[in-house]
Amino acid sequence: MGNLYSGAEIVFKSLEDQKVEYIFGYPGGAVLPIYDELKNHPTIKHILVRHEQGAGHAAEGYARSSGKPGVVLVTSGPGATNVVTALTDAYMDSVPLVCISGQVPTHLIGTDAFQECDTTGITRPCTKHNWLVKDINDLPRIMHEAFEVATTGRPGPVLVDIPKDVQFAKAKYFKPKKEKKLNGKTLNKFDQKVIDQLIELMRKASKPVFYTGGGVINSGPKASELLRELVALTGFPITSTLQGLGAYPGDDNQFLGMLGMHGTYEANNAMHDCDLLINIGARFDDRITGKIDEFSPKSKKVHIDIDPSSINKIVKVDLSIVGDVAEVISATSKTLKKKNLNLEKSNKQKISKWWKQIQKWRTKQSLNFINSDTIIKPQHAVQRLYELTKNQDTYITTEVGQHQMWAAQHYKFNKPNRWMTSGGLGTMGYGLPAAVGVQVAHPKKLVVDIAGEASVLMTIQEMSTAVQYNLPIKIFILNNQYMGMVRQWQELLHEKNYSESYSSALPDFVKLAEAYGCIGIRAKSPNELDKKIEEMINVDKPVIFDCLVDQEENCFPMIPSGKPHNKMLLGPKDQEENKITDKGKTLV
């Protein structure tokens, strides 16, 4: 006969069995029994955030940088609704989260009780699955199933809603079963035949390109190693989505840079003109494809993804391989070696023309910008940050907007799990709490949130969390006093009607840092930038770095909406050379 445990104890026993070390949360009436139990479980550390959205994003940062699921604990009602943004963000970017929420006692459900809301109803569309635990005897099974669903197949968030009386009720506990079959939802059965077909396509291709995404990161560090091997074996060029950055070294010669709306000229043109497109763990997002009807019109398309519903959702493909990226790549490389097809050598002749074309595109240097001696250009600031931090293992998070794109363009990632950004949902305010989570997972590493001043104010309260737990995160704000991306679109597409995109009455970020008990640093001119960045890196405390940058700078290159990949807008340098006036820029 097993012992009887309370619901709160069962929650912690299952967290222990799932090897959870940190939970991010905020207490409240309906989760008090669980908080009461916390003291009895020393292996689990609770990180108290300042807002439940922060708990969600911190758990995302933790999960994405460590490869382990992030755990969130919130109360009923507002606690649960505040975490909805983070759950949706995790759902869009396939981040494994387990969110435990308190609920009013079962006998009060449906009575509009204090702090009651239909949590499972609200979170149904933004989780992989959720559960309302009405019977204490279901709790152990549901807790284990929650971790299983969150971490298998295409990862994502789940939520377990536990009424307060269930937290007090008692039941037996049982450990998770190993290798449980989950309703056939994890798919990893691909046939050697499709691998052979893929290799046949690769052999025939004369203009191939790899297009890789976050699926490679989610498949684990091994997948990135295997990807590097495959790219070397084939000699093909490779481009990556925003989420895939770091899976392949950003400074390697075969890497064309990021593709998509703010991707490089060579990456987007290669996508447009290629005759074989191999999508590995990406999902043909609308920021990537541009105009669907004219997307990569001449290519055979291959899609490798663990989620069958990603295939043919947006772009019809010629060959689909449903499986875990690492295993598919490994099978491909193995077959290549077995067949003794050294594509790099045998195909060299064939694809050398393609590489010549790519070199031609590269000479455009589409990420170039006109630097200045008097004012800090935001791209320059990111480049300097990169140069001064590349020698140590640095983790970068971002908010959403221009600064995010500049970070993606100018910071070169060499390892997976070093780049945490809100891509799918595009959540302003993601970066600061995510940095908190990353620093929790990697206490000794340098963690920098490349931020915008508008975004960071959405979750600035989490500085307090960073200070409380001595998390020396660096908030590197590219401050242009505008919601930069909004301003850019207004300049280019709305006749410079800068409607509500300027923030007057911004706080003094240096004083704000001091108010939170951390360090504030301000850089105003390019000649002091390096010194100040070094100062920031060397402080073993949280820092808010207020980098005052050019207010007018736009993020180029850019594919205007509804345009195919080969109709890019390039930066001001190129436009000058082509004698396109400022006015021409607005005629997108």
Per CB under 8 A, 57 contacts another protein? no
Per CB under 8 A, 124 contacts another protein? yes
Q: Which is nearer to another protein, 49 or 160 (CB)?
A: 160
Q: Which is nearer to another protein, 182 or 515 (CB)?
A: 182
Per CB under 8 A, 307 contacts another protein? yes
Per CB under 8 A, 183 contacts another protein? yes
Name the β-bridge partners of 544. 475, 520
Q: String of b and e for 385-420 (b: at least 16 CB within 10 Å)?
A: bbebbeeeebbbbbbbbbbbbbbbbbbbbeebbbbb
CB of 88 to another protein, least distance (A): 12
Per CB under 8 A, 119 contacts another protein? no
Q: Are 67 and 246 in contact (CB under 8 A)?
A: no
Q: Which one of 40, 192, 309, 527 is in contact with another protein (CB under 8 A)?
A: 309
Q: Which is nearer to another protein, 309 or 346 (CB)?
A: 309
Q: Which is nearer to another protein, 39 or 583 (CB)?
A: 583
Q: Which one of 6, 101, 120, 398 is in contact with another protein (CB under 8 A)?
A: 120
- Residue carrying structure tokens 């490994």: 330
Name the β-bridge partners of 546. 477, 522
How far is it, in rounded angstroms, from Cα 59 to Cα 151? Answer: 14
Query: Residues 21, 68, 115, 541: which is the catalytic one?
Result: 115
Name the β-bridge partners of 446. 394
Catalytic (active site) residue 52: yes
Per CB under 8 A, 128 contacts another protein? yes
Catalytic (active site) residue 485: yes
Q: Which one of 13, 51, 57, 129 is in contact with another protein (CB under 8 A)?
A: 129
Catalytic (active site) residue 236: no
Q: Are 61 and 438 in contact (CB under 8 A)?
A: yes
Query: Residues 428, 483, 485, 568: which is the catalytic one?
Result: 485
How far is it, in rounded angstroms, from Cα 261 to Cα 252? Answer: 22
How far is it, in rounded angstroms, from Cα 348 to Cα 475? Answer: 45
Query: Residues 45, 114, 192, 514: which is the catalytic one?
Result: 114
Q: Which is nearer to another protein, 232 or 292 (CB)?
A: 292
Q: Which one of 19, 172, 313, 334 is in contact with another protein (CB under 8 A)?
A: 313
Helix H or strand E encompassing 566: none
Q: Which of residues 233-292 bind another protein (CB under 8 A)?
A: 286, 289-292
Q: Which of residues 484-513 bind another protein (CB under 8 A)?
A: 489, 493-494
The span from the first CA to the last CA of the chain, in angstroms, equals 73
Q: Which of residues 405-424 bind another protein (CB under 8 A)?
A: none
Query: Residues 52, 60, 266, 462: which is the catalytic one?
Result: 52
Q: Which one of 560, 566, 575, 580 is in contact with another protein (CB under 8 A)?
A: 560
How far is it, in rounded angstroms, from Cα 157 to Cα 262? Answer: 28
Catalytic (active site) residue 168: no
Question: Which tokens belong to 372?
Answer: 């200045």
How far is it, in rounded angstroms, from Cα 62 to Cα 41? Answer: 20
- Residue carrying structure tokens 């295409």: 154
Per CB under 8 A, 132 contacts another protein? yes
Catalytic (active site) residue 114: yes
Per CB under 8 A, 149 contacts another protein? yes
Number of residues near another protein (by CB under 8 A): 33
DSSP 376-430: B-HHHHHHHHHHHHTTS-EEEEE-SSHHHHHHHHHSPP-STTSEE---SS--TT-
Per CB under 8 A, 4 contacts another protein? no
Q: Cβ atoms within 10 A of the Cβ of 446, count?
A: 17
> Which residues are identified as catalytic?
52, 114-115, 164, 485
Q: Which residues bind another protein (CB under 8 A)?
A: 120-121, 124-125, 128-129, 132, 134, 149, 182-183, 185, 286, 289-293, 307-309, 311-313, 316, 489, 493-494, 560-562, 587-588
